[in-house]
């Protein structure tokens, strides 16, 4: 296969952008996770401020709505002492017909040092990386149905924190894999962390035709799929990306694939539950489960700040040599 | 004026000629192949040593039209890059759907080659009202299509085919299901990994099944353009064996690229119908070799640079193909993927027979369209060498063989 992310590493092995997790090696992930750990006060959930990005300007370029991803990127940049420019798409020139390329060139003229981008088109982050001058990193905060690497990183960080070594865990991803950039990045991250069995659980209408490309076991029945599972990664139903007739209207999805206490009983005891948010109670997950001790959805949000600080500070140093063993 | 074209490898698939020979022309007509006629003293000798002499290339599907007529720059590019006849797609704001528009297109062409419009099957290509096919034919359009704009209602399609069949008119069909084609790349491993909306193989096979059945029922003569899948080639083969009055082509880029080439989101690899898998590419090659596919078309679609300056799925599909068409064909021959005979046939005799029921062969007494090419001249594909205004090519930086040395249109050097 051709190099999928030709702009991600330079020839010396420095990570220049974070566009996807494809092409990264296990030690790259370990470096990012370890870096994230350094931002926490010892034995605490408190994140320490740092001056690693002092004097830099980070632009949050969000063409799709977002609450936690945009906010945690903003908080991460602030905690690293950077200035943050939030480019709000509804009030921007884009809504007056400016092309993505022109928007990016204008932001470059405003001397932005780092781009965080979310866009509805798969490949948009990579496209933006080709427009920028060398030395200006791009972090993909979600491109179409393609990738959302920082979400996957914070998920594996959270799983490792609560359940230890991922190479000893069986993990299932439940929900709309087909339209999910989160799932695509999660699967890559889980492979890199050495997870022995990765399952996806969904009806065929919410799976790619060629799931064999993903290296996962496929289940169309939730209870069968949850047997012997240690970690359940729930996905949100991406109703905004769906076309007609993928699912029946009404409660059919919840009945077949909703994570209820009854379904959860099929997984291993104390199975960990993660969810990228926003959660839809009673649509993909039973409310009580979302609030239970084994659901670490809010901890994911906190860890997201540290992960994004780690990625930003590594990329701000374009001599990060992260690609070297 | 007596002309001798000396010592080139003459390739004429129809007559099974593949030999180093001299050609002799008198007053633009071919008078002899191999030996001079008695007393022939050439006024001018064209040296073709080390070169191939073949019929001029015929392209069945190129976008050369703008509202006012043929784009002069594109016509010039075609004439300089080995084409002597092109069929021009009926797209644009004003589709080629009235005799006046046909006449304007024919008048606007100042090139020295033949550029023939393909007429719109329906008014404005909207798939609802039948265009005046016989008037369009009278005005100079030998062939009709609704291009990639589908006729969604099957009963209308049947009527259109019945009407065309009444006058023995030939239809060009893009056999793609109008709903399943709504995507961006081939539905396969790459679409699964990249999160790009997939176009399944069934977009083509369901489209083909529908049209083939209607052809069987109505008796209309048809040409299937831009085939992409192994299953599609198989269906064409079976239909031909059954005796249906059909011909078919694939686009040059489908013989070179697959969905893997789209994996890095390069917008220049975005085409419709989409690039398929290696097995499909090989089946298209085999189809050209065994004659299931009659022709290779360019599918030339020149675009301004802004059209590709966007994320993959938001860019415009299409490839500027005229400048690389000859070289990409020769590349297949150099790599032994196509024989010289099969390639020459698929870009000369095959397409001309498919659309005009005329031969491109070198017949004595006729004024030949021919080109002399250097098959061993290698060049690196670069925007600066493009004569087309469109630089949207996935083949930039490829090193390819082939250069046009001379072009003769109706026996006259142009």
What does the pLDDT look like over B235-270, one tens digit per residue?
Answer: 999 999 999 999 999 999 999 999 999 999 999 999
**Smallest CA–CA distance from B194 into chain A, residue:** A146
Residue B23, token pair as written in the block: 């050609």
Sequence spans of domains, chain B: 2-53+367-413, 56-356
On whether the CB atoms of residues B163 and B181 are closer than 8 A, the answer is no
A4 contact residues in B (CB cutoff 8 A): 193, 263-264
Tens digits of per-residue pLDDT, A81-101? 999 999 877 656 566 678 899
A6 contact residues in B (CB cutoff 8 A): 264
Place of tokens 């498919």: B354
Using CA atoms, how far residue B307 sits from A138, B45, B70, B107, in Å, is 23, 46, 20, 29
The burial of B110, by beta-carbon neighbours within 10 Å (0-12 exposed, 13-18 middle, 19 or more buried), is given as exposed
B264 contact residues in A (CB cutoff 8 A): 2-6, 126
Q: Average the pLDDT over B189-200 and give the result.
A: 97
A121 contact residues in B (CB cutoff 8 A): 310-314
Tens digits of per-residue pLDDT, B338-382? 999 999 999 999 999 999 999 999 999 999 999 999 999 999 999
Does residue A3 surpass a pLDDT of 60? no
- Write out the residues of chain A at the interface with chain B, using a CB-CB cutoff of 8 A: 1-6, 22, 99-101, 119, 121-124, 126-127, 143-147, 179, 181, 184, 208-214
CB contact under 8 A, B260 and A121: no
How many angstroms from the chain centroid is the CA of residue B408? Answer: 20
How close B263 comes to chain A (CA, Å)?
6
Determine which helix (DSSP H) or strand (DSSP E) holds B280, and give its type and residue range. helix B278-290
How close A204 comes to chain B (CA, Å)?
13
On whether the CB atoms of residues A147 and A19 are closer than 8 A, the answer is yes
**A179-198: b (≥16 Cβ within 10 Å) or e:** bbbbbbbbbbbbebbebeeb
Tens digits of per-residue pLDDT, A29-85? 999 999 999 999 998 899 999 999 999 999 999 998 888 899 999 999 999 999 999
Does residue B335 surpass a pLDDT of 50? yes
What's phi and psi for A251, nearest 5 deg?
Answer: -90, 10
Tens digits of per-residue pLDDT, B31-55? 999 998 899 999 999 999 999 999 9
Give the residue from B184, B195, B256 with the most A CB atoms within 10 Å of its CB, the best one to mutate: B195
Same fold, B2-53+367-413 and B56-356: no
How close A3 comes to chain B (CA, Å)?
7
Give me the pLDDT at residue A325, please.
58
- Least confident range from B88-97, B135-144, B178-187, B337-346: namely B88-97
CB contact under 8 A, B264 and A146: no
**Rounded-to-10 torsion of CA B21, B25, B29, B33:** -20
CB contact under 8 A, B313 and A119: no
Tens digits of per-residue pLDDT, A207-225? 999 999 999 999 999 999 9
More confident residue, A174 or A237: A174
Give me the pLDDT at residue A96, please.
65
Architecture of domain B2-53+367-413: Roll (2.30)
Q: Which of B193, B196, B260 sits opposite A2 (nearest CB)?
A: B260
Q: Which of A5, A146, A209 sits opposite B198 (nearest CB)?
A: A209
How close B188 comes to chain A (CA, Å)?
6
pLDDT above 90: percentage of residues in chain B = 91
A144 contact residues in B (CB cutoff 8 A): 195-196, 311, 313
Q: Average the pLDDT over A137-145 and give the result.
A: 97
Give the residue from A105, A127, A131, A148 with the most B CB atoms within 10 Å of its CB, the best one to mutate: A127
Pairing of strands B17-26, B29-33: antiparallel
Tens digits of per-residue pLDDT, A241-265? 676 788 888 889 999 999 999 999 9
Confidence grade of residue A6 (pLDDT, cut at 50, 70, 90): low
Does residue A1 surpass a pLDDT of 60? no
**Smallest CA–CA distance from A182 into chain B, residue:** B195
Q: Which of A22, A123, A211 sits opposite B192 (nearest CB)?
A: A211
How close A202 comes to chain B (CA, Å)?
15
pLDDT above 70: percentage of residues in chain A = 93
CB contact under 8 A, B311 and A4: no
Q: Which of A127, A184, A212 sits opposite B265 (nearest CB)?
A: A127
**Residues in contact with A49: Cβ distance below 8 Å, sequence separation at least 6, in sequence order:** A79, A80, A81
Does residue A2 surpass a pLDDT of 50? no
Give the residue from B182, B199, B261, B265 with the most A CB atoms within 10 Å of its CB, the best one to mutate: B265
A127 contact residues in B (CB cutoff 8 A): 265, 310-312
* Cα–Cα distance for residue pair A85/A74, rounded to 1 Å: 9
Give me the pLDDT at residue A324, please.
63
Q: Which homologous superfamily is B56-356 in? A: Metal-dependent hydrolases (3.20.20.140)
- Write out the residues of chain B at the interface with chain A, using a CB-CB cutoff of 8 A: 187-198, 200, 260-261, 263-265, 306, 309-314
Tell me what ipTM this predicted complex has: 0.90
On whether the CB atoms of residues B46 and B374 are closer than 8 A, the answer is no
Give me the pLDDT at residue B369, please.
98
* Cα–Cα distance for residue pair B152/B136, rounded to 1 Å: 23
B194 contact residues in A (CB cutoff 8 A): 122-123, 146
Give me the pLDDT at residue A318, please.
75
CB contact under 8 A, B263 and A1: yes
B306 contact residues in A (CB cutoff 8 A): 99
Give me the pLDDT at residue A8, please.
86
Give me the pLDDT at residue A239, please.
73
**pTM of the full structure:** 0.93
Tens digits of per-residue pLDDT, B116-147? 999 999 999 999 999 999 999 999 999 999 99
Tens digits of per-residue pLDDT, A96-115? 678 899 999 999 999 999 99
Q: Domains for chain A: give ranges and CATH numbers.
A: 26-147+304-316 (3.40.50.1370), 149-301 (3.40.50.1370)
Q: Average the pLDDT over A293-309 and give the result.
A: 97
**Residues in contact with A176: Cβ distance below 8 Å, sequence separation at least 6, in sequence order:** A183, A202, A206, A235, A236, A237, A238, A242
CB contact under 8 A, A123 and B311: yes
Tens digits of per-residue pLDDT, B55-74? 999 999 999 988 778 888 99
CB contact under 8 A, A211 and B263: no
Confidence grade of residue B92 (pLDDT, cut at 50, 70, 90): low
Does residue B324 surpass a pLDDT of 80? yes
On whether the CB atoms of residues A26 and A52 are closer than 8 A, the answer is no
């Amino acid at each position: 296969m051709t190099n999928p992310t030709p702009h991600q590493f330079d020839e010396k092995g420095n990570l220049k952008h974070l566009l996807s997790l494809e092409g990264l090696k296990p030690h790259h992930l370990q470096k990012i996770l370890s870096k994230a750990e350094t931002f926490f006060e010892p034995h605490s959930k408190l994140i320490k401020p740092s001056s690693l990005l002092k004097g830099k300007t980070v632009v949050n370029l969000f063409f799709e709505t977002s609450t936690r991803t945009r906010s945690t990127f903003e908080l991460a940049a602030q905690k690293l002492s950077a200035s943050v420019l939030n480019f709000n798409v509804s009030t921007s020139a884009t809504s007056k017909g400016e092309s993505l390329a022109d928007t990016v060139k204008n932001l470059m003229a405003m001397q932005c040092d780092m781009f965080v981008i979310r866009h509805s088109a798969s490949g948009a982050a990579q496209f933006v990386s080709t427009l920028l001058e060398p030395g200006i990193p791009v972090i993909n905060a979600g491109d179409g149905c393609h990738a959302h690497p920082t979400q996957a990183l914070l998920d594996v960080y959270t799983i490792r924190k609560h359940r230890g070594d991922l190479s000893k865990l069986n993990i299932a991803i439940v929900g709309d894999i087909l339209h999910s950039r989160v799932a695509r990045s999660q699967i890559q991250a889980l492979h890199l962390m050495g997870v022995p069995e990765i399952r996806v659980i969904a009806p065929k209408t919410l799976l790619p035709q060629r799931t064999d490309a993903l290296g996962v076991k496929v289940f169309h029945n939730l209870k069968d799929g949850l047997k012997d599972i240690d970690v359940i990664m729930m996905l949100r139903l991406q109703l905004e990306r769906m076309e007609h007739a993928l699912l029946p209207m009404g409660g059919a999805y919840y009945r077949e694939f909703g994570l209820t206490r009854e379904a959860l009983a099929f997984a291993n005891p104390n199975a960990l539950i993660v969810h990228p948010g926003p959660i839809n109670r009673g649509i993909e997950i039973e409310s009580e489960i979302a609030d239970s001790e084994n659901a670490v959805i809010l901890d994911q949000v906190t860890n997201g700040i540290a992960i994004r600080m780690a990625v930003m500070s590594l990329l701000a140093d374009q001599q990060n040599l992260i690609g070297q063993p | 004026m007596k002309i001798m074209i000396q010592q080139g490898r003459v390739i004429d698939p129809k007559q099974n000629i593949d030999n180093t020979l001299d050609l002799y022309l008198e007053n633009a007509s071919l008078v002899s192949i191999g030996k001079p006629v008695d007393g022939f003293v050439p006024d001018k000798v064209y040296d073709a040593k080390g070169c191939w002499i073949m019929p001029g290339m015929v392209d069945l599907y190129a976008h050369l039209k703008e509202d006012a007529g043929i784009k002069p720059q594109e016509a010039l590019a075609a004439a300089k890059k080995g084409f002597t006849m092109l069929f021009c797609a009926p797209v644009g704001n004003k589709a080629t759907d009235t005799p006046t528009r046909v006449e304007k297109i024919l008048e606007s062409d100042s090139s020295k080659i033949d550029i023939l419009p393909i007429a719109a099957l329906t008014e404005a290509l909207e798939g609802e009202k039948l265009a005046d096919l016989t008037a369009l034919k009278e005005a100079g359009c030998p062939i009709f299509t609704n291009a990639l704009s589908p006729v969604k209602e099957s009963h209308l399609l049947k009527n259109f085919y019945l009407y065309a069949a009444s006058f023995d008119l030939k239809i060009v069909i893009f056999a793609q299901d109008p709903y399943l084609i709504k995507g961006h790349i081939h539905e396969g491993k790459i679409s699964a990994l990249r999160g790009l909306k997939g176009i399944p193989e069934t977009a083509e096979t369901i489209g083909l099944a529908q049209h083939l059945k209607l052809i069987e029922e109505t008796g209309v003569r048809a040409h299937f353009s831009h085939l992409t899948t192994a299953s599609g080639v198989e269906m064409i083969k079976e239909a031909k064996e059954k005796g249906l009055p059909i011909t078919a082509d694939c686009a040059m880029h489908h013989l070179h690229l697959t969905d893997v080439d789209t994996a890095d989101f390069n917008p220049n690899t975005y085409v419709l119908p989409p690039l398929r898998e290696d097995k499909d590419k090989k089946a298209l090659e085999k189809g050209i070799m065994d004659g299931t596919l009659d022709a290779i078309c360019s599918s030339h679609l020149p675009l301004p640079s802004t059209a590709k300056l966007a994320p993959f799925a938001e860019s415009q599909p299409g490839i500027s193909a005229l400048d690389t068409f000859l070289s990409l064909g020769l590349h297949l021959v150099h790599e032994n993927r196509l024989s010289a005979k099969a390639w020459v046939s698929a870009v000369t005799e095959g397409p001309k027979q498919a659309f005009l029921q005329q031969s491109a062969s070198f017949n004595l007494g006729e004024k030949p369209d021919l080109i002399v090419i250097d098959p061993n001249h290698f060049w690196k594909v670069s925007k600066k060498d493009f004569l087309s205004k469109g630089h949207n090519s996935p083949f930039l930086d490829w090193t390819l063989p082939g250069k046009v040395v001379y072009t003769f249109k109706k026996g006259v050097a142009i």
